[in-house]
Homo-oligomer: A and B are copies of this chain.
Amino acid sequence: MPRACRYTTDVREDTGPTTPDAAGREGGVRLALVAGTTATAEIDGLSAAGADPRVMRHTPGADLDILVHGEPTIAPVVPVSPTGCPTPAVVTRAVRDLIGFDVLGVDAGIAGPTGAPTIPLGADPGRDVRDGRAVPTAGAIFDRARDVGRALPDEHLVVSETIPGGTTTALGVLTALGEPATVSSSLPENPLGQKRRVVDRALAASDLAAGDAAGDPLRAVAAVGDPVLAAATGLTVGCVESGTRVTLGGGTQLAAVAGLVRHLGVDAPLSLATTSFVADDGTAGIETLADRFDVDLHVTDPQLAAADHPATDAYLRGEAKEGAGMGGALRLFADSGVPTAALHDRIETVYDRLLADRAEGP
C-alpha cells in the first residue's frame, strides 16, 4: 500500500475536518512547538540552525516568539543560518497569519529567554550525547508531556520541534532502537558521516550497542537523545490515548518520534507531514522511516521557486529544509484553499519584519 502522498500548496484535498479554529475551541487544530536545546549542537559543523553556537542556543526561544508574536520579542536573536537562511518559523508564521491556528508552546529545555508563553515540563537543556547520559530525566519529561497531551481538548494536534542539533540526537535514538539510521540536515551537504561518528561515541559512552534499546525507547532518549524527543513522544502518546488525532509536523526528528512511539507499543494511526525539501534529500530516508513506523507520509511543496526572494531562495539551495512546524503548517495550508501566491507574499512580509529592525547577534 503506498503511504506517501505528495502535495503542492495549490492542491486542495478533502481529508476531513482539519479546518483551523483560531479561537482554539474544541474540534480545532493546534500546533504544538516543542522547544529545547542540546549541548550536542555545539559540536562544530553539525547544525545550521543559527549563525554560530552562541546564537544557536537562542533559536528555540526565538522560534517560539516568531510563531506566537510574529517576531522575536524577548529572544535576542533572529535565527538565521551561517549563510543567512532565515528560520523555517518564518514559513510557519506566514501560514498562521493566513489561515489562523493556535500555537501551544512547550518548554522542553529552552536555554535562552522567550516572550512566548510555554507549558513547562521541568526539562533542562540536553547534554552532549558523547557523554552517554544526554537526558537523565527523560522519563519524567515524557510523563509530564503525556499528561499535557491527555488533557488537551483539541481534535487535532500538530506536533513540531525546534532544537538545533536535533537530527544528530534523532540519529542516536534511531541507532539505539535498531532502526534505519538516516536523518536529514539543515545544511545543504548533510554531515552524516560526522553525525554517525558522534553517535558511535555516544553509544560507546552509554554502554549501548546499536539496537540495544529496542522496545525501551526512553532508555534510548536518556542515553543518546534530547529533551525535545522525550517531550514530543510523551505529547503524542498522551494525545492518541485521549482521542486527539496527531500529525507529526517535521522531518526526520519527528520520524524518530514516531519510532519512539512505536517502540512503546502504541500502534494508533499517525501522520507525518514534511516538506518537499526533506523528501528530496536522499540522505534523509524519510520514506523508509515513515514506512518502517507505519505513518502516513504527507509531503508538501511550497513552490518557493516562484517566490524568488532572499527569504525563500536558501531553501532552493537545500538549506534549513524543515523545522519549527514548517511541514505541518504547509499541510494545513494545502488544505485551506488559499492561493500559494498569498503564502509567498506573506513569507516576505514576515521575513522583512524580522530583519527590518533587529541585529542578528545578541
Residues on A facing B (Cβ under 8 Å):
22-26, 68-71, 73-74, 96-97, 100-101, 104-106, 115-120, 147-148, 151-153, 353
Contacts and interface: CB of A to CB of B under 8 A. Distances in A.
Contact of A73 (B71, B74, B152): B152
Chain A to chain B: the 4 pairs with minimum beta-carbon distance, closest first: A22-B22, A73-B151, A117-B117, A23-B100
Contact of A100 (B22, B70, B152): B22
Contacts of A73: 148, 151-153
Contacts of A105: 117
Contact of A148 (B25, B74, B101, B148): B74
Given A23-B100, A24-B68, A74-B148, 9 more contacts: A22-B23, A24-B70, A25-B70, A71-B153, A73-B148, A74-B147, A104-B117, A117-B119, A120-B120
A115 B157 CA distance: 15
Contact of A153 (B69, B118, B147): B69
A22 to B, nearest CB: 3
A359 to B, nearest CB: 15
A117 B103 CA distance: 10
B115 A148 contact: yes
Interface centre among A118, A151, A152 (most CB of B within 10 A): A151
B117 A118 contact: yes
Contacts of A25: 70, 97
Nearest to A115: B151
Interface centre among A101, A105, A153 (most CB of B within 10 A): A153
Nearest to A23: B100
How many copies altogether? 2
Nearest to A28: B70
A132 to B, nearest CB: 31
Contacts of A147: 74
A353 B106 CA distance: 26
A117 B107 CA distance: 9
A97 B23 contact: yes
Nearest to A118: B117
19 contacts: A22-B22, A23-B101, A24-B69, A25-B70, A25-B97, A26-B70, A70-B153, A71-B153, A73-B148, A73-B153, A74-B147, A74-B151, A104-B117, A105-B117, A115-B148, A115-B151, A117-B117, A117-B119, A120-B120
A119 B119 CA distance: 9
Given A23-B97, A25-B97, A100-B23, A69 B115 contact: no
A118 B115 contact: no
Contacts of A115: 119, 148, 151-152
A195 to B, nearest CB: 32
A100 B151 CA distance: 22
Nearest to A349: B25
Contact of A118 (B100, B118, B151, B152): B118
Contacts of A24: 68-70
Contacts of A26: 70, 353
Contacts of A153: 69-71, 73
A148 B24 CA distance: 23
A119 to B, nearest CB: 5
Nearest to A101: B23
A69 B26 CA distance: 8
